[in-house]
Amino acid sequence: MPELPEVEVSRRGIAPHLEGHVIKQVIVRDARLRWPVPETLQQLTGATITQVERRAKYLIIHTTQGYAIVHLGMSGKVRVIPTDTIVVKHDHVDLELGSGWSLRFNDPRRFGCWLFSEEHPSLEHPLLRDLGPEPLTDDFHLDYLFNASRGRSQSVKTFIMDNHVVVGVGNIYANESLFKAGINPKRAAGRISKARYAKLVPIIKQTLARAIEQGGTTLQDFTQADGQPGYFKQELMVYGRGGKLCMQCSGRLKEIRLGQRSTVYCPSCQR
């Protein structure tokens, strides 16, 4: 599933081609996504796109007539292509622009979404209004995360993956961040010292920023808006390497499941 870096890479890829352009037509070929594409999405016809924003793993397309809320789901992709590009299987939604180009959404598993909101969704929409802070902003800092962790018995990995605590620290980047910080993912969040969180917070920021710089992580489905894969996979130290040798101590990496997600860690390096 595309995580925060992949969604941010997608945003950066499409934004320059959308902002300032008029939506000539909204085409919905198959409304059967995670939630049915609402008829109100057609209200974007004739609107000018003013901004493409990311909140957590959602893309928010600002226009003069409302907002489109887009989630890539497990296999979704957005590309800006010439409007006359041949439609292929799983091309579900197009925003056709007056420039002769279109934003096209392809999603084989149909677990993504396209929704419409008249008000800015971060303030009102139930999918967004209760989310935690963005990890790459000043709102995500040591005191905030340490205080949020007090009294928490859940594992630190599921804690930092909780979107009500902080958004966008998905499975790949939680595995990698905890390894770099030397923290065992099974440890209770409330039992970890402030000094250790002081190390973890900047590592989460650095890991996500580096993944964005590398174009995200391509494991199966994800490609950038220009069709290129993400290259952060080449820098993964633990994720997907269960049973292999640790790059730091040469011990054997262990793979378990936490919160129904694959979790890989080094029993020697992570305490």
Under the banding of pLDDT at 50, 70 and 90, the label for residue 234 is low
Domain 142-265, CATH: 1.10.8.50
- The total of other beta-carbon atoms located within 10 Å of residue 57's CB is 21
* 263 pLDDT above the threshold of 70: yes
User: Quick one: pLDDT at residue 230?
Assistant: 41
CATH 1.10.8.50 domain span(s) along the chain: 142-265
User: Quick one: pLDDT at residue 195?
Assistant: 98
Residue stretches of the annotated binding site for DNA: 90, 109, 152
* 264 pLDDT above the threshold of 70: yes
Under the banding of pLDDT at 50, 70 and 90, the label for residue 24 is very high
State the chain's mean pLDDT as an integer: 92
Q: Is 186 a catalytic residue?
A: no
Please, which residues bridge with residue 78 across strands? Answer: 105
Under the banding of pLDDT at 50, 70 and 90, the label for residue 122 is confident
* 157 pLDDT above the threshold of 80: yes
- d(CA 200, CA 190) in angstroms, rounded, equals 14
- The total of other beta-carbon atoms located within 10 Å of residue 223's CB is 19
Under the banding of pLDDT at 50, 70 and 90, the label for residue 271 is very high
- Residues with Cβ within 8 Å of residue 189, at least 6 apart in sequence: 149, 152, 153, 154, 155, 156, 159, 160
Quick one: fold of 4-124?
N-terminal domain of MutM-like DNA repair proteins (3.20.190)
Question: Could you tell me the two tokens for 258?
Answer: 């936490």
pLDDT over 70 for what percent of the chain?
A: 93
Q: Is 252 a catalytic residue?
A: no
Task: Read off the pLDDT of residues 206-230 as tens digits, 9 standing for 90 and up.
Answer: 999 988 888 755 334 434 444 554 4
Q: Is 32 a catalytic residue?
A: no
Task: Read off the pLDDT of residues 44-61 as tens digits, 9 standing for 90 and up.
Answer: 999 999 999 999 999 999
End-to-end CA distance of the chain: 28
b/e per residue, 86-98, with b = 16+ CB within 10 A? eeeebbbbbbbbe
Under the banding of pLDDT at 50, 70 and 90, the label for residue 232 is low
Task: Read off the pLDDT of residues 74-117 as tens digits, 9 standing for 90 and up.
Answer: 999 999 999 999 999 999 999 999 999 999 999 999 999 999 99
* Catalytic pick among 254, 255, 261, 267: 261
**Radius of gyration over every alpha carbon of the chain, rounded to an integer in angstroms:** 20
User: Quick one: pLDDT at residue 233?
Assistant: 59
Residue stretches of the annotated binding site: 90, 109, 152
* Catalytic pick among 11, 57, 79, 180: 57
pLDDT over 90 for what percent of the chain?
A: 82
pTM: 0.89
In contact, 32 and 83? CB cutoff 8 Å: no
Q: Is 261 a catalytic residue?
A: yes
CATH 3.20.190.10 domain span(s) along the chain: 4-124
Q: Helix 194-213 vs helix 4-18: angle between axes, to the nearest 10 degrees? A: 40
* 267 pLDDT above the threshold of 50: yes
